[in-house]
Structure 1
Amino acid sequence: MKRILAVCLFCLVTHLSSAQKISLLKSYEAKQLEIVNREPSIVNNGNEPIFRLNEQPGGGLAWLKDQVFTTGTISFDVKGRDVQQKSFVGVAFQGINDTTYDAIYLRPFNFNAAEPIRRLRAVQYISLPENDWEPLREKFPNVYENAVTPVPNATDWVHVDIVVTETGATVYINHSKTASLKVTLLQQRGGKRIALWVGNNSDGEWRNFELKKN
């Protein structure tokens, strides 16, 4: 009996900690995405559907209405553009509402920029509404943004893993074991919403979205 209980407990723990692949196509078709300030669409690339948010002024969100997330790993492929100040792509988490959340995003146009200072601004953490990128850069230079390792091309699909704990977040690019960004979260507000995120005047594309919840 003890052995059976141990096996059942192991299976339960394994199930709870395993990655959950989120079909953005099914979420879109089932109206399980709450869209904020964007027009969503599905782009078919062969047999692989790609979720897209269009470009327009202001930030944009696609909240996953049927998901809650506190700690664990957020994994996805994302694609931006090599257009300066028009490509900010990532995810929002710890979400409470449309203006109160944390986000981690890429600036693909800075991946291979000629200026060294721009390359150090390729991945960014923010905590809204109080701590957007500008005050963070001014008060804490090179703390909440960094270069990415390895360095992709600006128009490549980029795989992102974000490991979120109760107090911090660590970002890995293209399955690297070297962290591109490691930060202490500025808020422990208890928000559980998660979204795809784009910045001002930015569009973005996502695929292979997974959540591994602790």
Structure 2
Amino acid sequence: MTKIVTSLSGHLRLLKKRTYQTAVLLLMSCIMGGFKVARAQDLNKKFTVINRIISLDRKSGVVHLNKAEGAGIAWINGQVFDKGVIEFDVKGKDEFQGSFLGIAFHGVNDSIYESVYFRPFNFRSTDLGRKSHAVQYIALPGYDWPKLRTGFPNQFEQLVLPAPDPNQWFHVKIIVAGELVSVYVNNSKRPALKVKSLTRTGGKMIGYWVGNGADGNWRNLKISSE
């Protein structure tokens, strides 16, 4: 009889311990789930995201847009930009036709805007043709890259020298002054690309941009409007 009572007491203690552990795990799961919901709600307040999912690493400040078909934009709510300076660090990858990322500006909506973006997989290509397609300017809806490459070869896309490591962070400075758009990479004194704006959208939205099938990472965004 004593052995039976002892055995039952042991089982009860084990059951209580497991019940407690399960309750703790459930509580932690609810808390973490609440954090994730709160973070998602915070990001939805800060950004209007088109065709992507946005995430933010609060410790490093890195903004990430996931990979998906078609272009994607994360417009920054409450931020306006007409002319001035845009600076940021950006990181893509050396994946052929798999990394297109930059900034959209003068946005009216998800189909009317200008953009400067990079193709990191072309940075260090041994093919000179590909290498000259490293940085690109577009003005949608009328002037996407195929039309510009055919009608205005080597005017709205150029190589980047010295070529950054396509798998590492690089710094970008875009100066929009009147009709001129100048793009500097890694604090170079000479612009990698300098073009005349092809449109006047009247829009002032600005945000992170990725191309078809691409994801991307940004940090240290600074916008100085004039």
Q: TM-score range by the shorter chain?
A: 0.7 to 0.9
In the alignment, structure 1 residue 63 sits paired with structure 2 residue 75:
yes
Q: State how 1:54-133 maps to structure 2 within 5 Å.
A: 54-133=66-145
* CA deviation map 1:36-73 (0-9, x unaligned): 000111236xx422110000100000001110000000
| Structure 2 CA distance for partners of 1:119 and 1:28, relative to 1, 3 Å | farther
Higher strand share: 1
2:61 touches 2:220 (CA, 8 Å); kept in 1? no
Q: Residue in 1 aligned with 2:47?
A: 33
Counterpart of 2:149 in 1: which secondary structure?
helix
Q: Using the TM superposition, name which of 145-154 and 179-188 deviates more.
A: 145-154
1:149 touches 1:178 (CA, 8 Å); kept in 2? no
Q: Residue in 2 aligned with 1:144?
A: 156
Paired with 2:162 and 2:139, the residues of 1 have a C-alpha distance of 25
Paired with 2:104 and 2:202, the residues of 1 have a C-alpha distance of 14
Shift of residue 30, structure 1, vs aligned partner: 6.5
* CA deviation map 1:97-145 (0-9, x unaligned): 1100000000000000010111100000000011100010000000000
Q: Residue in 2 aligned with 1:177?
A: 189
In structure 2, the gaps of 5 or more residues are 1-38
| Structure 2 CA distance for partners of 1:28 and 1:103, relative to 1, 3 Å | farther
| Structure 2 CA distance for partners of 1:199 and 1:94, relative to 1, 3 Å | same
Percent identical among aligned pairs is 44
Counterpart of 2:150 in 1: which secondary structure?
helix
Equivalent residue pairs, number: 188
> What one-letter code is carried by the residue in structure 2 that aligns with 1:72?
G
| Structure 2 CA distance for partners of 1:28 and 1:130, relative to 1, 3 Å | farther
> What one-letter code is carried by the residue in structure 2 that aligns with 1:112?
R
> What one-letter code is carried by the residue in structure 2 that aligns with 1:34?
T
Paired with 1:195 and 1:124, the residues of 2 have a C-alpha distance of 16
How large is the RMSD of aligned CA atoms in angstroms?
A: 1.7
Structure showing greater radius of gyration is: 2
1:92 touches 1:196 (CA, 8 Å); kept in 2? yes
TM score, norm. by length of structure 2? 0.80
* CA deviation map 1:131-168 (0-9, x unaligned): 10001000000000000122111111010000002201
1:91 touches 1:194 (CA, 8 Å); kept in 2? yes
Higher helix share: 2
Q: Residue in 2 aligned with 1:135?
A: 147
1:38 touches 1:54 (CA, 8 Å); kept in 2? yes
1:166 touches 1:188 (CA, 8 Å); kept in 2? no
